[in-house]
Amino acid sequence: MSFLLENIQTPLSEQTAYILGGIVSACSYNEEQSAWLLPVIHNPGKVTSTDLQSHQNSLKKILSGMYAKFIKKTDDNYKKYMQPNKQGFVFLVSSATIKTPENLIETFSEHIMIASEKVRCAFITGAFDGRSSLDKHTRMLSLDEKHPLCSDLIINVLKSLKITASINKSRDRITGGNPRKNQIRISAADVPEFAKTVGLISPTRVKDIENASISNFIEEKDNSLSGLIKIKGLRLSKQQRKLKKVSVDKRSHEAGADQKLIDEISSTKITKPTKEVSYTGKPKKKISAVTQSQTTTFPRDKKVSLKALKIANYTCEIDAQHQTFIRKKDDLPYTEPHHLVPMAYSDDFDVSLDIEENIVSLCSTCHNQVHYGKDIEIILKPLYERRKDLLARVGIYITYAELLKMYK
């Protein structure tokens, strides 16, 4: 049984959008087979047999209703469809009337552009899943251009998802060596948004992106497509991020939530742990903000702050010799928890800021100085230097300049 590309139903599903993304990206029609190629291509030695098999299995599920012909390395005609000296596999999707890039774009571009965000994401996943590469130095995600019309559609869909992409023209490249094709490029600053919003199925390409991260991250499966992986908390660039503006009201509400946390801890009888407590070193999923009485704040878990105080042994992390007093409830030194990266900036991160690695133990004087003091850098700078690596391990990569801006 054969399924024709022109028989794809609209509105598009995530599965058909993924297939169209792969076809548009490769933009290769085989006259002999009357079929469009949907290839998965890797450079020699860049993919393991296990990862390739996993990718095959996922794509077979996605294409199961299309009865596409599957071409693998052991097939006699494999070399007819696979680029020389490359590894991978190919699906052939039959088409009787759609035979040119112009036909392809004319038939499907409008359906793709008006589709839901999930469907547009699936189209982009398909476009980058089989042929893209991440540059180890620039950390740009690149895709060789096959036809200008196809590239325009891919870039327009990316733009609709608020992911910036550009065409790197071959004439702009440094001369010398073999000529190279134009490329669609997503900058290192935008790859994290791509990984979080769009995602990929290729285990090898997912690993390439993850291995380039300068902070830890959370990997999540998305069941909208078989094998789809999305990554939260990824950061590939040390370039200073553009922070979202935090209103005066929001700062006030978050400060109120901080004080409520301190009051709750002050009224709690703390049981000193019998065994050593330590940081987990793993990112934590972010909990959505909570709205009560028209006030929206990000939740604080008292247990998390109590654990952070225990890890610090109830001393001030600016100077363990700082004078404090003994709590009357449990005979322990009184210190207060402080979120180093303020909870008010939770929208700028894909992971939770309410985690032990981001909570420091401070004496009352230091805590007041960091909030109300004239020269907060005396407090902030040493705290940052001691915590920056711990923060990166839990997906909170931040420069000192970014942190300082949050306190201004």
On whether both 204 and 151 belong to a single domain, the answer is: yes
| Token couple for 206 | 């997912």
For residue 243, tell me if it sits in a domain: no
**Do the beta carbons of residue 162 and residue 173 sit within 8 Å?**
no
What b/e readout covers 340-370, taking b as 16+ CB neighbours within 10 angstroms? Answer: bbbbbbbebbbbbbbbbbbbbbbbbebbebb
SS3 for 22-74, per residue?
HHHHHCCEECCCCEEEEEEEECCCCCCHHHHHHHHHHHHHHCCCCCCEEECCC
Number of structural domains the chain divides into: 2
Element (H, E) at 107: helix 101-113
Give the residue numbers spanning the domain of 152: 5-232
Between vectors from CA 126 to CA 122 and to CA 132, what angle results, nearest 5°?
130
On whether both 66 and 160 belong to a single domain, the answer is: yes
For residue 240, tell me if it sits in a domain: no
Alpha-carbon distance of 354 to 71, in angstroms, equals: 49
With 0-12 / 13-18 / 19 or more C-beta atoms within 10 angstroms meaning exposed / middle / buried, residue 399 is middle
Instruction: Point out the domain boundary residue: 232, 266, 294.
Output: 232
On whether both 263 and 196 belong to a single domain, the answer is: no
For residue 241, tell me if it sits in a domain: no
On whether both 312 and 173 belong to a single domain, the answer is: no
On whether both 287 and 341 belong to a single domain, the answer is: yes
pLDDT for the residue numbered 173: 52
- The parts of the chain modelled with pLDDT lower than 70 are 1-2, 171-180
pLDDT for the residue numbered 239: 80
Strands (E), 254-364: 290-292, 295-297, 336-339, 359-362
Alpha-carbon distance of 125 to 162, in angstroms, equals: 15
Alpha-carbon distance of 112 to 279, in angstroms, equals: 46
With 0-12 / 13-18 / 19 or more C-beta atoms within 10 angstroms meaning exposed / middle / buried, residue 32 is exposed
pLDDT for the residue numbered 41: 97
On whether both 276 and 391 belong to a single domain, the answer is: yes
On whether both 256 and 142 belong to a single domain, the answer is: no
For residue 12, tell me if it sits in a domain: yes
351-385 residue pLDDT tens: 999 999 999 999 999 999 999 998 899 999 999 99
